Amino acid sequence: MISLCGDSRPRLSVGAQPRGVFVTARISNIRTHNLCLLGFGNVNRTLVRLLADRADELRSRYGISYRITGIASRRLGWIANPNGMDPDAYVDEKSVERALLPAKSQESNHTLSNVQDWLSAAQADILFEATSLNVRTGQPAVDHIRAALRHGAHAITANKGPIVHAYRELRDLAAAQGKKFLFESTVMDGVPIFSLFDQLPAIHLQGFHGILNSTTNVILGEMEQGLTFDQALKKAQQLGVAETDATHDIDGWDAAVKTAALVTVLMDFPIRLNEDEIEREGIRDLTPQALRNAKRDGWPFKLVCRAHRAGDSVKASVKPEKVLASSPMGKISGTSSYVYFETDIFPGLAITEENPGLYATAYGMLADFVRAVRD
């Protein structure tokens, strides 16, 4: 995941007038959707800015209007106003204090103990779930999504945990409720991987390999240039790529959870994160010397994700591998990512994402929003 860093409100640069695809008729019915944001860190804050930037286009091309009726986070508790609220009022402590002066606002905050109450108070149509990953249980994100679907809202998440720990349950609950459970931002920053396969009916995915974790890719690249592990990690953090606690990335958990998400959804096999099913090895044991030697020999190390069918099962791994420097994986540097799918129709179908922009992850959620409500 790419975090925002530096100026907290970068502007979008759009080089051309909005143009779209497959949209022809003038939109006559505009529907306004009530949006609720759970977790109010970089992803959902960026989503707010992106939604504002694209508001006119969503309205004119897709007939989609929105208002933000709920914000919730550990810091804020929950806040709801079914008439809509200004999310900018909640970006820092001072503005929160101002916004919640009783005389100034209909909004009031509550402890985040009952998500259902919040969604009801906010009259939520869509939940954007962007809390942190819990590798072991997927909680509390699983509960949040369950609550949203039971409430009758579409549930959109940037959190991989619920897919690995509760995909089938949440998918079936969504179907039963006639709502969508979408999660395009969980792998490759919102590049439409899951949506792509939704456009590939009756195809059979035999396996895949790729590079799906930016933090380790940046660290390995910096160490090849001569930095120590600690220096490289610090650089990745300064770049806004690595989080303060980068353990999940470094030990291969983030890549393993992404691999598991792809296996679970695209190969219809609910793989578990234990060592029997996903062999997992991080990058801690790679020395700068080993990395430099490998790079010099034309076979640099990358943290490679793999999965393939083995009988009725799927075997997967995440571990450092030497790859040919001139191969597609050998050329994935910095925050770029790559995945190569083997299918019975397309023997090799590969997607490369080069240098994702600051808005990529949030865009995946915006696109999920459009997908959820336009069908």
Q: How far is the CB of 110 from its own copies (least distance, A)?
A: 33
Total interface residues for its own copies by CB under 8 A? 69
Interface residue with its own copies among 187, 191, 255, 291 (CB under 8 A) is 191
**Options 103-111, 113-121, 202-210, 249-257: segment touching its own copies (CB under 8 A):** 202-210
Say how far apart CA 292 and CA 300 lie, in whole Å. 8
Task: Please report whether residue 16 would count as binding its own copies according to CB under 8 A.
Answer: yes
Q: Using CB atoms within 10 A of its CB, is residue 91 exposed (0-12), middle (13-18) or buried (19+)?
A: middle
Tokens 């007038």: give the residue: 17
Interface residue with its own copies among 33, 49, 61, 160 (CB under 8 A) is 61
**Options 99-107, 230-238, 244-252, 357-365: segment touching its own copies (CB under 8 A):** 357-365
Structure tokens, 346 = 């397309």
Interface residue with its own copies among 37, 68, 265, 273 (CB under 8 A) is 265
Write the CA distances from 331 to 204, 298, 299, 334, integer angstroms.
Answer: 28, 11, 11, 10
Task: Please report whether residue 348 would count as binding its own copies according to CB under 8 A.
Answer: yes
Instruction: Let me know: does 373 contact 64? Beta carbons within 8 Å.
Output: yes
Task: Please report whether residue 315 would count as binding its own copies according to CB under 8 A.
Answer: no
Q: For residue 32, list its beta bridge partners.
A: 65
Task: Please report whether residue 11 would count as binding its own copies according to CB under 8 A.
Answer: no
Say how far apart CA 182 and CA 65 lie, in whole Å. 19
**Which of 32/355 has CB closer to its own copies?**
355
Task: Please report whether residue 128 would count as binding its own copies according to CB under 8 A.
Answer: no
Task: Please report whether residue 9 would count as binding its own copies according to CB under 8 A.
Answer: no
Give φ, ψ of 370 to 5 degrees: -60, -45
Of 169, 133, 122, 121, give the one whose Cα is nearest residue 149.
169
Say how far apart CA 237 and CA 286 lie, in whole Å. 19
Q: Using CB atoms within 10 A of its CB, is residue 279 exposed (0-12), middle (13-18) or buried (19+)?
A: middle
The pairs formed by 137-140 with CB atoms below 8 angstroms and a separation of 24 or more are: 137/161, 137/165, 138/162, 138/164, 138/165, 138/166, 139/165
Interface residue with its own copies among 92, 97, 247, 346 (CB under 8 A) is 346
Task: Please report whether residue 77 would count as binding its own copies according to CB under 8 A.
Answer: no
Task: Please report whether residue 326 would count as binding its own copies according to CB under 8 A.
Answer: yes
Task: Please report whether residue 365 would count as binding its own copies according to CB under 8 A.
Answer: no
Task: Please report whether residue 270 would count as binding its own copies according to CB under 8 A.
Answer: no
Say how far apart CA 225 and CA 288 lie, in whole Å. 9
Interface residue with its own copies among 9, 75, 204, 272 (CB under 8 A) is 204
**Options 117-125, 144-152, 158-166, 364-372: segment touching its own copies (CB under 8 A):** 364-372
Say how far apart CA 142 and CA 152 lie, in whole Å. 16
Q: How far is the CB of 146 from its own copies (least distance, A)?
A: 16
Interface residue with its own copies among 113, 199, 274, 289 (CB under 8 A) is 199
Task: Please report whether residue 297 would count as binding its own copies according to CB under 8 A.
Answer: no
**Which of 102/347 has CB closer to its own copies?**
347
Interface residue with its own copies among 6, 7, 11, 22 (CB under 8 A) is 22
Of 122, 130, 148, 10, give the one whose Cα is nearest residue 66.
122
Task: Please report whether residue 13 would count as binding its own copies according to CB under 8 A.
Answer: yes
Strands 205-211 and 301-310 turn out to be antiparallel
- What is the footprint of its own copies within residues 138-177 (CB under 8 A)? 171-172, 175
**Which of 107/353 has CB closer to its own copies?**
353
Task: Please report whether residue 240 would count as binding its own copies according to CB under 8 A.
Answer: no
Q: How far is the CB of 333 from its own copies (least distance, A)?
A: 12
b vs e for 210-238, b when ≥16 Cβ sit within 10 Å of the residue's Cβ? bbbbbbbbbbbbbbbeebebeebbebbbe
Positions that interact with its own copies (CB under 8 A): 12-16, 18-22, 24-25, 54, 57-58, 61-62, 171-172, 175, 190-192, 194-206, 265-269, 309, 326, 328, 331, 336, 344-357, 359-360, 363, 366-367, 370-371, 374-375
